[in-house]
Amino acid sequence: MNPFAATTGFLHDRVDGAGYVVNLLLRTLLVLPRIHRRLRFLLDNAFNAGVRALPVTMVVAAFAGAILAMQTGIELRRFGDTAVLGTITALSMCREMGPFITGVILAATVGSAIAAELGTMKVSDEIDALEVMSIDPTDYLVLPRVLALAVMCPLLTVLSDLIGIYGGSVIAEQNLGVSSDLYWISAIEALTSSGTVLPKEVYVGLLKSFVFGVAIATVSCAAGLRAGGGALGVGLAVQTAVRNSVILIIVLGFVVTWFFYFLS
């Protein structure tokens, strides 16, 4: 095959896909006023997302916090400065690690489930059935899912932050000789030093996870709605959803941090 044609074909598919996602997000915003009719679906979806992602998030967050404390602790020990361990773990958990791991886990558990569910609906004509009943799939299917993750991702992130910091404290106390009191005091001090009602690290992290939640749900819905060609198509939709979600989590995470810490 002509490599030029292959490249333009690839680019065309990517741009086409991105255009679909942006379009879907805009249409979802447009139907936002109709959410009062979808409250039950919203609650169902939020609950499901929480139940699916909670156990994994807790385990991964605890280990992430522990790893963070170990990695920085090894270096800090050389300078005899392990007292700042609480500060460093708390800040990196809230700013970056908490939202990041929550996002990735949501993409893998809930995003994939959304793509599979909508993809199956697509290939078994259920999306067409909605259209025939003049029911807009954006309003009926996409809106409750996007809002559910927009709410659940920050909630789970708060939990990951706490559990991560706790995971760090265990390592700090057991392996690095930092007393639990000192660890927690320095952690809380670090988080309250910005002087705003909600500490900056926390609200930037929460905003980030809100953006992640919206992105994961939109990308996964789009992948499902564009599924084609039977069971194979559903499998590909799941793959697309998880891959695109993870890419977006990394890129958007960078953009938000950059915006709040370097631009302003």
Partner 1 sequence: MIELQDVYKRLGTRDILRGLTVTVPKGMNFVLMGPSGTGKSVTLKHVIGIFKPDRGNVRVDGQDVPTMDQKQLMALRKRMGYLFQNGALINWLSVADNVALPLREHSQMSRTDIADRVHEVLELVGMAHAHAQFPPNISGGMKLRAGLARALVTNPEYVLYDEPNAGLDPIISQQIHELIAEVRDRLSVTGLIVTHSRACATQCGDRIGILESGRLAIEGSVDEIVHSDHPLARAFMGIGSD
Q: Could you say which of 54, 126, 173, 257 contacts partner 1 (CB under 8 A)?
A: 126
What's the CA angle centered on 238, arms 232 and 239, to 5 degrees?
90
Site string (188-227) toward partner 1, x via CB under 8 A: ----------------------------------------
Q: In the complex with partner 1, which residue's Cβ is closer, 133 or 197?
A: 133
Give yes or no for residue 35 binding partner 1 (CB under 8 A): no
Give yes or no for residue 255 binding partner 1 (CB under 8 A): no
Q: Could you say which of 17, 20, 35, 44 contacts partner 1 (CB under 8 A)?
A: 44
Nearest approach, Cβ of residue 139 and partner 1 (Å): 10
Residue 123 CB: number of other CB atoms within 10 A?
19
Stretch that binds partner 1, among 24-32, 123-131, 155-163, 210-218 (CB under 8 A): 123-131
Give yes or no for residue 125 binding partner 1 (CB under 8 A): yes
Nearest approach, Cβ of residue 114 and partner 1 (Å): 13
- Rounded to whole angstroms, how far apart are CA atoms 85 and 82? 5
Give yes or no for residue 13 binding partner 1 (CB under 8 A): no
Nearest approach, Cβ of residue 261 and partner 1 (Å): 43
Q: Could you say which of 7, 23, 71, 124 contacts partner 1 (CB under 8 A)?
A: 124
Nearest approach, Cβ of residue 55 and partner 1 (Å): 23
Give yes or no for residue 231 binding partner 1 (CB under 8 A): no
Closest CA to 107 of 172, 76, 62, 152: 152
Give yes or no for residue 1 binding partner 1 (CB under 8 A): no
Nearest approach, Cβ of residue 136 and partner 1 (Å): 9
The three-state (H, E, C) secondary structure of the chain, written as one string: CCHHHHHHHHHHHHHHHHHHHHHHHHHHHHCHHHHHHHHHHHHHHHHHHHHHHHHHHHHHHHHHHHHHHHHHHHHHHHHCCHHHHHHHHHHHHHHHHHHHHHHHHHHHHHHHHHHHHHHHHHHCCHHHHHHHCCCCHHHHHHHHHHHHHHHHHHHHHHHHHHHHHHHHHHHHHHHCCCCHHHHHHHHHHHHHCCCCCCCHHHHHHHHHHHHHHHHHHHHHHHHHHCCCCHHHHHHHHHHHHHHHHHHHHHHHHHHHHHHHHHHC
Residues 129-188 interacting with partner 1 (rule: CB under 8 A): 129-135
Q: In the complex with partner 1, which residue's Cβ is closer, 137 or 199?
A: 137
Burial (Cβ within 10 Å: 0-12, 13-18, ≥19) of residue 134: exposed
Give yes or no for residue 30 binding partner 1 (CB under 8 A): no
Stretch that binds partner 1, among 85-93, 107-115, 126-134, 200-208 (CB under 8 A): 126-134
Stretch that binds partner 1, among 53-61, 104-112, 119-127, 210-218 (CB under 8 A): 119-127
- Given the rule CB under 8 A, which residues bind partner 1? 44, 121, 124-126, 128-135
